[in-house]
């Protein structure tokens, strides 16, 4: 197995070139210290733009009762001596202020700008805290500010390359459609159907108004704006969403045989098409030990 594949799914440690033992120091309680909330400032590389009032209220109640259990990750502020910039944990900092807690535990690390953005993005992704557009914006910044490729991001974050590519495509949507995504009126699945589509704003409004699901949205886009009443729209034959089709192609390229994915409601089958027992043995070898040339 190649080194890149060994790092696949390691997340932050892969991005920063650290092994797991070294990275564990970030979350080590022994390395923490207490800092006044007044000396902490939101990070300029924070990928998260929205902090819901309800979730902040719930977290504040927990902090009021139990305190801040997990230290914030910070770095010395690049422009203000004696102050700190939050890398990961801004939500905890905001909630602590609502709970009128005046000091919080922090771990101070001397990260540069690239490492700061990478840590903030991965930390939020691992917690599933980011909206689809926040995730897309984080990928875009990592690629354009720090020259990461889609393939590198996919390996380091434990995502498929197609997921990274399809998420980035959301940034090309009109502003009105992005607003619907941010409000939660449209899911990422709905939004991907509208990428590159003429009159995407009007179609998005119709999707929300009629409460269409993703399959019905695909039909609406394919029909150029015409769709049956909600609940009566027949599912198109053998139409796969962009993520499923891209994942099929990724698996086909990885295993060297045609791969088909049949999904229904989050459950389904992965079908491998092989032409001989020798080819089947080769597939099993790749799944178990990696590609034959990895150890060469």
Q: Report, as residue numbers or ranges, the catalytic residues.
A: 90
52/134 Cα distance (integer angstroms):
14
- Angle, to 10 degrees, between the axis of helix 175-182 and the axis of helix 132-146? 120
The dihedrals phi and psi of 230, each to the nearest 5 degrees, come to: -55, 130
CA 258 to chain centre: 28
């Amino acid at each position: 197995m190649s080194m890149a594949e060994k790092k696949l799914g390691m997340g932050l440690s892969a991005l920063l070139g650290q092994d797991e033992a070294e990275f564990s120091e970030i979350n080590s309680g022994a390395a923490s210290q207490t800092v006044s909330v007044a000396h902490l400032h939101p990070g300029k590389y924070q990928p998260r733009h929205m902090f819901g009032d309800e979730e902040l209220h719930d977290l504040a109640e927990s902090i009021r009762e139990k305190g801040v259990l997990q230290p914030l990750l910070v770095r010395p502020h690049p422009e203000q001596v004696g102050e700190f910039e939050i890398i990961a944990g801004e939500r905890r900092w905001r909630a602590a202020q609502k709970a009128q807690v005046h000091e919080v535990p922090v771990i101070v690390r001397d990260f540069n700008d690239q490492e700061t953005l990478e840590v903030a993005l991965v930390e939020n992704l691992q917690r599933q805290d980011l909206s689809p557009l926040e995730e897309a914006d984080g990928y875009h910044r990592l690629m354009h500010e720090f020259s990461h490729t889609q393939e590198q991001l996919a390996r380091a974050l434990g995502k498929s390359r197609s997921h990274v590519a399809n998420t980035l495509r959301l940034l090309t949507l009109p502003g009105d459609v992005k607003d619907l995504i941010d409000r939660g009126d449209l899911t990422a699945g709905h939004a991907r159907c509208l990428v590159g589509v003429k009159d995407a704003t009007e179609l998005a409004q119709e999707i929300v108004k009629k409460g269409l699901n993703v399959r019905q949205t695909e039909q609406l886009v394919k029909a150029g704006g015409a769709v049956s009443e909600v609940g009566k729209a027949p599912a198109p034959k053998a139409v796969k969403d962009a993520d499923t089709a891209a994942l099929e192609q990724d698996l086909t390229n990885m295993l060297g045989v045609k791969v088909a994915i049949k999904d229904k409601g989050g459950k389904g089958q992965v079908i491998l098409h092989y032409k001989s027992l020798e080819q089947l043995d080769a597939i099993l070898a790749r799944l178990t030990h990696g590609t034959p040339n990895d150890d060469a």
